[in-house]
Amino acid sequence: MKTPANTERSALLFGLAAVLLWSTVATAFKITLSEFTPGQMLFVASVVSVLVLSVICALKGTLRQLTTIFLSNPLYFLLLGLINPFAYYLILFKAYDLLPASQAQPLNYSWAITLTLMAAVFLGQKIRKQDWLACALGYLGVLVIATKGDLLALSFESPLGVGLALLSTLLWASYWILNAKNKADPIIVVLLGFMVSLPFSATLVWYEGIQWATISMKGWIAVSYVGLFEMGITFVLWLTALKKTSNTAKVSNLIFLSPFISLILLSQILGEIIYPSTIIGLILILSGLIVQQIKWNNKS
């Protein structure tokens, strides 16, 4: 039987594995988008994700719950699937298509700050003073990244790309708000989302009339990697880490490593220029996220 120390060590290893894998996906996104359209990428990655999550659920013995959970509230799960993965990833991939990944990835990290504002509107949660400070830091960081540090000019390399990256944060936050009171197995819920969205992404690919013959083996490997590690296995690793630990904050804080590791990989593998403004903006966004977590007094 494992000791608590071993269990905590195991939780940290699972969490670190998830963070390291998530750190690679921005690079995989750009490699994939050099050969796939965002619609194609969403469809193929979703197929891979459905396959891997189905195998995981079968091994856990939870696959039989799929139909029961869906039929308990089909319209709800249809809405979840249309928001994430369909709309969220389609818009996120298009943002990555229009922007350097070193800009799109940090912008996407502002979703947690967006969630605070949306939770106040839709769940009636109170916005604390530190939340307003977090929002100010986060969106200042967004502006610094989007304008490459030239705040006064407010000139964006791709206004549409920046807009789509920020829209993706709204969709991701909306997904978690809708999911807040859902007590079903989270892996089953994610699998249902991908299964629900598949007919829509398949229809989009058919409508675009895209050719597949020109895609290289490198492209197929990259898109399969996205399906496995952005949308599939890594989510399970992260949930396992949170389930094993008795100190959720300790594991959750590992996520702050991810954007910096990702920038290093983008620079070394793809040769992207990492502007000083990107580092400064990312630090501002992460500072906002840290401010949200600080407990200013012991009364609460």
Q: Which two tokens stand for residue 134?
A: 């977090």
pLDDT in tens, 226-248: 999 888 888 888 888 877 777 77
Neighbours of 71 (CB within 10 A): 9
Angle between helices 111-122 and 276-293 (to 10 degrees): 40
Given a contact cutoff of 8 angstroms between Cβ atoms, the answer to whether 102 and 277 are in contact is no
Percentage of the chain modeled with pLDDT above 70: 94
pLDDT in tens, 212-221: 888 999 999 9
**H and E: helices and strands count for the chain:** 15, 0
Nearest to 227 by CA among 57, 46, 97: 46
Q: Which two tokens stand for residue 170?
A: 């709204």
- Integer Cα distance of 219 and 23 in angstroms: 19
Given a contact cutoff of 8 angstroms between Cβ atoms, the answer to whether 81 and 194 are in contact is yes
- Integer Cα distance of 225 and 102 in angstroms: 19
pLDDT in tens, 131-180: 888 888 888 888 888 887 777 665 677 889 989 999 999 998 899 888 87
For 105-122, what is the mean pLDDT?
82
Q: In this model, does residue 3 exceed pLDDT 50?
A: no
In this structure, the dihedral spanned by the alpha carbons of residues 291, 131, 155 and 280, taken in order and rounded to 10 degrees, is: 0
The pTM score is: 0.88
- Residue spans of the domains in the chain: they are 4-293
